[in-house]
Amino acid sequence: MIHAAATDGRGNLIASLGDPDFATYFRSSAKPFQTLTLFRSGVIDHFDFSEREVAVITASHSGEEFHVQLVRKILQRIGASEADLQCGFHPPLDPGAAQKFFAEHRMP
């Protein structure tokens, strides 16, 4: 079921689909706004992040090897490591990448 609500500038409901009072979490849709702070603060320019690096910062991803390598490159550039992350991880969605993930004894 899809739930959506549109409001005017004062917060008055002007259109809806499904239950307009359905509670949900911001999650992935917040990522572009979180990345915007990196642009506005100059972090993107300071660390000279590439478009691919900005993309992996901004989007959800499936933990495939090229995603992991990009994130490791970003962490190295900013002087951090995987141990500094608090977000946790899960096996890749791709079956081959997931098999490799577990073969290397990485535990989610």
What's the pLDDT band for 104 if we cut at 50, 70, 90?
confident
Mind listing the pLDDT tens digit for each residue in 49-79? 999 999 999 988 777 888 889 999 999 999 9
Mind listing the pLDDT tens digit for each residue in 9-20? 999 999 999 999
Regarding pTM above 0.75, the answer is: no
Mind listing the pLDDT tens digit for each residue in 83-94? 898 876 677 888
Specify the pLDDT at position 106: 60
CA distances from 4 to 14, 16, 58, 61 (A): 11, 6, 23, 25
Q: Are 21 and 28 in contact (CB under 8 A)?
A: no
Specify the pLDDT at position 25: 82
**What span, in angstroms and rounded, lies between the C-alpha atoms of 12 and 10?**
6
Radius of gyration for the alpha carbons in the chain, expressed in angstroms and rounded: 18
Specify the pLDDT at position 85: 85
